[in-house]
Chains A and B, each alone.
Chain A
Amino acid sequence: MERHTGSPARYRFEDRFLFLVLPLMFLNLLMAVVGFHTFHLQPAGSLAILCSILMASPWIAFIVIYGLYLAEEKDEFQRTILVQSLLWGIGATLATTTIWGTLEKFNLVPPMDVNSVVFLFVIPFTIAERVLRWRYR
């Protein structure tokens, strides 16, 4: 992962990403491939709840480590870039889901998979962060 700022908070964020989020993603991938695809497991009851929590955990962890980074980053300029990127991500997510929702009411589009909302946020957020960093380079 590219190291941008050299701030201790950024390094901690990257370490948390590497040692917490990535292993959780790997665990999810393993569960999906081995459990659901190879062995066709269909968990029910509390096992299904556990699987659901596990599947959501990388994204929850990602949000938590970004929150920690925002709280720990002492460089106000880096914080500004992050906040602006988050606003772009939130704005794009709200705009897209609102438009999609109204289209859904008229049966013009299929119902949105709620799981895809996280990508609707992450993609514009990442693009905004890159563009802002490029602007201030």
Chain B
Amino acid sequence: MKNRLKVLRAERNWSQADLAARLEVSRQSVNAIETGKFDPSLPLAFKLARLFAIPIEAIFLDEL
């Protein structure tokens, strides 16, 4: 699934490791989500939305 994670992260000047620490996941996880190789579960998607203070659909793009 496409997402705007890299852009949102860059806007805040966070590295993948910074975001991973805030989400309490591995940097590898952040990289896999960012590159669209792994789709996070709803709880993790909500956690991302809370962290960036934006709705989930502003992070993850519906490809239909």
Contacts and interface: CB of A to CB of B under 8 A. Distances in A.
Interface stretch (B1-9, B23-31, B49-57): B23-31
Q: Is the interface of A mostly helix, strand, loop or mixed?
A: loop
Q: For chain B, give the interface size range.
A: 10 to 19
A77 to B, nearest CB: 4
Contact of B25 (A4, A75, A136): A75
A136 B41 contact: no
Contacts of B41: 76
Contacts of A137: 28, 31
A132 to B, nearest CB: 10
Given A136-B31, A137-B31, A76 B26 contact: no
B14 interface: no
A137 to B, nearest CB: 7
Nearest to A6: B26
B52 to A, nearest CB: 19
Contact of A136 (B24, B37, B44): B37
Nearest to A135: B37
B24 A5 contact: no
5 contacts: A75-B26, A75-B29, A78-B26, A136-B28, A136-B32
